[in-house]
Structure formats: structure tokens, C-alpha cells
Amino acid sequence: MTAASEGKFIVSMLNLTQGISVEVKHVFLISTKYLTIRRCWSLSIQKFYKLGIGHWALGIGHWALGIGHWALGKRNT
């Protein structure tokens, strides 16, 4: 990000709206330790801020959330 785009991002944050995002995913957890595949439901509830740039920021938020769940799953297996 350049300094100019960072400035626009900060300004857009002044006009944010709050929302709740609920995601339910059917996921397969693969455990290499026991060589098994577990099927489970993953429920994610995320509070987000919808910025002026809208869907792009929301998409980044969901992407980061997905990475977090993936890392959490890897640690727990």
C-alpha cells in the first residue's frame, strides 16, 4: 500500500458500518498422526466493519478468518 492509499483507507474508516457475519462450513479435518479423516461442522461468527471500499475489505476479512481456522485446525490435529 502506498501512503496515498493508506490515507484513503483511514478516511473511509470514518464512515464504517457495523455488521455480523455468520458462516457455517462443512469441513474435513485430516489428522496425519492417526491417519484418519474427521468430518465436522465449523461455525464462524465474525463481527466486521464494512468500509467505504466495501466488498474488497469484507473479502479480506473473510480470507483472514479462513486462514485462522486453517491454522487452528493444523495445531489441534
44-62 pLDDT, tens digit per residue, is 555 554 444 444 444 444 4
| pLDDT at 31 (0 to 100) | 53
Instruction: Say whether pTM exceeds 0.75.
Output: no
| Dist. CA 65–CA 44, nearest whole Å | 8
Task: Give the cell for residue 14.
Answer: 470514518
- 11-36 pLDDT tens trace: 444 444 445 444 555 555 555 555 55
- Provide the domain limits for residue 52: 3-76
Total tally of structural domains belonging to the chain: 1
Contact residues for 73 (Cβ-Cβ < 8 A; gap 6+): 27, 29
